[in-house]
Amino acid sequence: MRKFLYFAAAALLLCACGPRTARTVSVAADDTPAEVLAKAVRVVPTPQQLHALDNAFIAFVHFGPNTFTGVEWGSGLEDPAVFDLKAPDTDQWCAIFRDAGMKRVILTAKHHDGFVLWPCRYTAHGVASSPYQGDVVKELAASCRKYGLEFGFYLSPADLYQMEAPDGLYGNGSAATLRTVPRPVPGRPFADPRTFTFEVDDYNEYFLNQLFELLTEYGPVSEVWFDGAHPKRKGGQQYDYLAWKELIHALAPDAVVFGKEDLRWCGNEAGRTRASEWNVIPYAQDPAEMNMFDDLTDGDLGSRERLLAQPRPFWLHYQPAETDVSIRHGWFWRNDGEQAVRSADNVFDMYERAVGGNSILLLNVPPDRQGRISPRDSAVLAEVGRRIRTTYGNDLLAGARRRDSVEPGTSREQLCIEMECPLAIRFDRLAIREDLSKGERVESFALDVWEDGWREVVTGTNVGHCRILRFPEQNVLRLRVRILSARAVPHIASVSAFLSGED
Ligand code: OTN
């Protein structure tokens, strides 16, 4: 009898806590619109995705033969001698990134040309054949640890060297057979004893071996970045991402994968952000079983209308966007004469729109041929870091009294969050965050200030991890966030106010 009572109590508690949340929730063919929306708010980030959003300003580093040849896409036929690097100053990179407020560094360990920036066991087309003879991956990983930054790497699925070389593995028509990863190489033993078996072709084995080296020999990896770009393809080569994913999850369980189910491309490389960036995305298949992910470039990926128009059945999946953009014109350093560098105003604007738009800003900063970040770029980043600290370092509502209520005659979803300050505050920024453990719920809201009555200042659409609104300076004792529409009763984690100090 006692066991039954325990079971009944657990079942009641579960019901009281509401339906189970998950990173992916399936929608049935006969689900009503209300059931679709109720399922949408059950979709929540994984701890790794939430961590990525909490550290939403990160650095991209495009570095390789293109730095020395001045092209954006190499041919794969470059002579390794062009990589005439003396010593990359990765400490300088990381000091600049840290002071700019960036939290992670992602290096192009292998770009499309197939040239590898570490002494890879499985190809000589890289630093080991160059005048440099060092290990850029190792240098950067060590600097990341030294400066308190997370490390990630970009490994291009497209590999022009493996396409062009006479013995190249890319698209060579090999059969998928059982392979052991990592493939032992005489004289180059691994410290990590783990091995894995996959039924893959030559290029996927090569790619898995490279992943094993990068995931086991350079310390913790926080992000693996798969570019969807392809200068060319060969032999109908397919990518066995499900095998790649199995290896990544085994060797780097805390890493997020860009270009696949964890993080998606925002849809442009210009730093543009959506007016409403929803991270609960509809898929016709279960993303956990998908090998290829198309680029999502539509303006509306997750509004109520978009979800309700999705042919059922389908899946709802949590997948934040990364807004990847270069500080320079182009992804690689070319020269310091005519190559344009973005202004601090422009980068700070992108920061507020991306980080304050439920997204992640991945800003590319390409080192020069001396392996250093140029003074023009570092000056911009220093100013951006200063602006972030002076604008967002002091929450003017820290001492305010919060009162949540529902106005008479409005629905439970139309929550009001009132903030009353002990002294009047001057502010021109509002940052609002949802409790993502309860899902993305807010669809639109307004900011009101009290001046002998409520006066609407500005409205916003969805919130998610963080929404930043910008408006003319206000000077008040009381303000409120008025939820205009929501998919369910909102759970607002925080409301903050800031003063940018801009003219
Ligand atoms: O030529 N391109 O491949 C290209 C031109 C403009 C913008 C993007 C691309 S490729 C695109 O790159 C993204 C990262 O910036 C993602 O990797 C996408 O999957 C890829 O298609």
* CATH at 414: 2.60.120.260
CB 423 within 8 A of CB 477: yes
Determine, yes or no, domain membership for 263: no
H-only helix segments in 310-428 = 344-355, 375-392
Whether residue 494 sits in one domain with residue 377: no
Instruction: Give the residue numbers spanning the domain of 439.
Output: 401-498
32, two tokens: 């009503």
Residue 225 sits in the same domain as residue 343:
yes
Q: What is the pLDDT of residue 16?
A: 47
Q: Is residue 283 part of a domain?
A: no
Instruction: Looking at the structure, tell me whether residues 234 and 201 fall in a common domain.
Output: yes
How many Å lie between the centroid of ligand 1 and the Cα of residue 69?
21
Q: Do 357 and 465 have their domain in common?
A: no
Answer yes or no: do 189 and 69 share one domain.
yes
From ligand 1's centre to the CA of 483, what distance in Å?
Answer: 36
Identify the residue whose C-alpha is closest to ligand 1 atom 18.
Answer: 228
CATH number at residue 107: 3.20.20.80
CA 228 to ligand 1 centroid distance, Å = 6
Classify residue 297: in a domain, yes or no.
Answer: no
Q: Which residue has the least CA distance to atom 16 on ligand 1? A: 228
Residue pair 264/319 in contact by the 8 Å Cβ criterion: yes
- Residue entry with tokens 């967002």: 392
Amino acid present at 394: N
Tokens (6 digits) for 364: 């590319």
| pLDDT at residue 336 in the model | 83
For residue 410, the model assigns a pLDDT of 87
Residue type, 181: V
Q: For position 14, what pLDDT does the model report?
A: 46
| Residue 228 Cα: closest atom of ligand 1 | 19
Q: Is 259 in the pocket of ligand 1 (CB under 6 A)?
A: yes
Tell me whether residue 68 is in a domain: yes
Residue 444: how many CB atoms within 10 A of its CB? 15
Distance 229 CA to ligand 1 centre (A): 5
> In DSSP terms, which residues pair with 372 in a beta bridge?
none
Q: What is the CB neighbour count within 10 angstroms for residue 293?
A: 18
The beta-strand segments (E) located in 259-335 are 264-265, 280-283, 314-318, 321-326
341 lies in the same domain as 489: no
Are 115 and 164 found together in one domain? yes
Compute the distance between CA of residue 76 and CA of residue 472 in angstroms, rounded to an integer.
52
Domain count, the chain: 2
Q: Buried (b) or exposed (e) across 304-341, using 16+ Cβ within 10 A?
A: bebbeebeeebbbbbbbbbbbbbbbebbbbbeeeebeb
Looking at the fold, whether 116 and 145 belong to one and the same domain comes out as yes
- Going by C-alpha positions, the residue among 241, 239, 165, 232 that lies closest to residue 203 is 239
448 and 343 belong to one structural domain: no
pLDDT at residue 22 in the model: 96
Below-50 pLDDT ranges, the chain: 13-16
Is 468 found in the same domain as 387? no
In a domain, 190, yes or no: yes
What DSSP letter does each residue of 162-200 carry, written as one string? HHHSTT--TT-----EEEEESPP-TT---S----EEEEE
CB of 448 sitting under 6 A from ligand 1:
no
- Tell the burial category of 189 from Cβ atoms under 10 Å away from its Cβ (0-12, 13-18, 19+): exposed
Statement to judge: residues 193 and 234 lie in one domain: yes
Question: What burial class does residue 21 get, using C-beta atoms within 10 Å of its C-beta: 0-12 exposed, 13-18 middle, 19+ buried?
Answer: middle
Q: Is the pTM of this model over 0.85?
A: yes
**How many angstroms does the Cα of residue 150 sit away from the middle of ligand 1?**
24
- The three-class DSSP label of residue 436 is helix
- CA-wise closest residue to 155 among 104, 224, 244, 234: 224
- Ligand 1: does its nearest atom lie under 6 Å from the Cβ of 227? yes
The residue among 347, 414, 387 whose CA lies nearest residue 498 is 387
Q: Is 72 in the pocket of ligand 1 (CB under 6 A)?
A: no
DSSP 43: B
φ/ψ of 473, rounded to 5, equals -60, 135
Whether residue 431 is contained in a domain is answered as: yes
Ligand 1 pocket mutation pick from 112, 262, 269, 325 by most atoms within 8 angstroms of CB: 269
Separation of CA 95 and ligand 1 centre (Å):
29
Q: Is residue 200 domain-shared with residue 338, that is, in the same domain?
A: yes
Q: Is the CB of 404 under 6 A from ligand 1?
A: no
336 falls within a domain: yes
Q: What is the pLDDT of residue 3?
A: 57
Domain-located, residue 296: no
Which tens digits make up the pLDDT trace of 23-36?
999 999 999 999 99
